[in-house]
Structure 1
């Protein structure tokens, strides 16, 4: 049986949400990536240590030591991903040193479903028997295998790898900028999601015929710097908060998206899927 309508629009649900249903950014698990020659285009990325602890720890080290500073966007493939890192990673004498970060990590494709604080979605999903959210992240799961994993939805951030399953270390990252490529699930370590600034990744010039990788004559968008929020003075941190997916507002918001009460809608979908159940952010309330 479908849940009853809230009788509210999406905007009204969010307007009436109590302050306790929102959480601040976690300084230890948030990245600020400043793009462009002047660094004016900022992308805020939330990391997922519950699902990829080794990769997230490595990414923290890389950001703390300034690994991505001065590197670039290497790939923009239409309806797929924007990818960044060191264009010279395959040339040892030119590759940027990793500092204290680990050069090799185990694959972290999934975690045990048992004990996971999953807020389930009742809506059907074609890719997994169970879907829902944990810590604001879109999660799919299979009770037969007992495993859960982060799903490749729009804005999700993963660690690029080669043929070997354990060939990612977090130095080369990508964000999904197109229709959710769920076929990548359980094949790549997912490390987090973009909270704000997707327009700066999705609107970049597309790369060439080689899967969107920029050729020698194609200009790359520079990365001025990537910082861990904990390394940024408090006065310079983004004043942003995130809706908790374990809150009372979250299911009300989902239902308002299923049963649309906005005047414009002539038809309500009566359905929502994992990848369009996006988690809102807002300026931090004082």
Structure 2
């Protein structure tokens, strides 16, 4: 009888617990949303849009490969054309990583600044930092201070707000983060690759490149060309010793990391294939909402918003067929 009474009491207690407490909703983490995305929501990256950089092996003899995805048209195409010519000419072979500035950039090229450039490189004007583009066609956008329809479920704070502290409008075009006013331009997020240059009106040839390894330096937008992003191997750059010279440049030749080769993906045997989560898909919208409002078990309070650079576009190796 005592046992029966205990079970009855337990049943009565459960009946008194509100239904929402018994049926607490669980939310997937951003990584879980990406993992569950449908195959058709992923877009293939053409091998011709890959720039593969092999560095000298590390101290343990392990190879170090960095894979860069080049910007698609219509952005930065003058510099992209130069980069393709430089890679085809094997110009970077024997150059080095010369600068590692903490919370800023890693930069590579010819430390001597005396290596002859291949013929036919374009002189690109500053006008090409911005581009005419039909935002209504491919733009998946966010607007400062305006609540959007971007939400995958209940946040407790209404629709997700995505903010850009630098421009009125920012979003994604074909999987790339961009900002816009009358024209549009790619922006400096972590892992983005840009073109080193001297003082204006010089815009750089593309022979001197850098990648962002710190907080997004958005003040560089429209002042330096963005030409791509590192999609694999960023750890081989971000973990390098910091340079002790001005702006993080290495002061001694032996500190520089030799570059063995830089090739387009079409020129590398057995080059890996990659794809990105297309930004017009339901899975990307759910992923972006989850990045702005973490509701998976570790988190207590959803943020209710996100910076565009805190919503990195997922890129992965293409699954074997």
Q: Is TM > 0.5 for Structure 1 vs Structure 2?
A: yes
> By how many angstroms is 1:259 displaced?
2.3
Question: 1:266 maps to which residue?
Answer: 300
Provide, for residues 187-209 of structure 1, a one-character-per-residue CA deviation record: whole Å limited to 9, x for no partner. Answer: 11111111111111111111123
Look up the match of 1:120: 141
Whether 2:314 is the aligned partner of 1:280: answer yes
SS in 1 for 2:316: strand
Shift of residue 15 of structure 1?
2.5
Indicate the larger mover: 32-41 or 273-282. Answer: 32-41
Match of 2:109 in 1: 85
Does the CA contact (< 8 Å) of 2:82 and 2:122 recur in 1? Answer: no
- Deviation string for 1:132-177 (max 9, x for gaps)? 01122110111xxx11111111111100110023341100000011
Alignment of 1:137-286 (within 5 A): 137-142=176-181, 146-216=182-252, 219-233=255-269, 236-285=270-319, 286=321
Structure 1, 99-108 or 252-261: larger mean CA deviation = 99-108
2:16 is aligned to: none
In the alignment, the residues of structure 2 paired with residue 48 and residue 239 of structure 1 have an alpha-carbon distance, to the nearest angstrom, of 16
| Structure 2 residue runs without a partner (length 5+) | 1-24, 143-147, 149-161
User: Structure 1 residue 217: deviation in Å?
Assistant: 5.3
The equivalent of 2:87 in structure 1 is: 63
- In 2, the alpha carbon distance for the partners of 1:189 and 1:53 equals 10
Whether the aligned pair in 1 keeps the contact of 2:231 and 2:315 (CA below 8 Å) is yes
1:97 to 116, 125, 135: 116
| Alpha-carbon offset, residue 10 of structure 1 | 1.6
* TM-score normalised by the chain length of structure 2: 0.80
Is the alpha carbon distance of 1:238 and 1:71 closer, same or farther for their aligned partners in structure 2, counting shifts above 3 Å? same
8 Å CA contact 2:172–2:279 kept in 1: the answer is: yes
Q: Which residue of 2 aligns with 1:35?
A: 55
For residues 42-57 of structure 1, what are the structure 2 equivalents within 5 Å?
42-50=65-73, 51-57=75-81
- 1:189 and 1:282 mapped to 2: Cα distance? 25
Deviation per CA, 1:245-283, whole angstroms, max 9, x where unpaired?
Answer: 222211111112222232111121121111111011223
Query: Following the alignment from structure 2 to structure 1, what is the Cα–Cα distance between the partners of residues 311 and 174?
Result: 14
Contact 1:6 1:255 in 2 (8 A): no
Q: Is the 8 A contact 1:42 1:200 kept in 2?
A: yes
Unaligned regions of 5+ residues in structure 1, if any? 90-94
Aligned pair partner of 2:169 in 130, 135, 139: 130
Question: Could you tell me how far apart the structure 2 residues matched to 1:129 and 1:110 are?
Answer: 15
More helix by percentage: 2
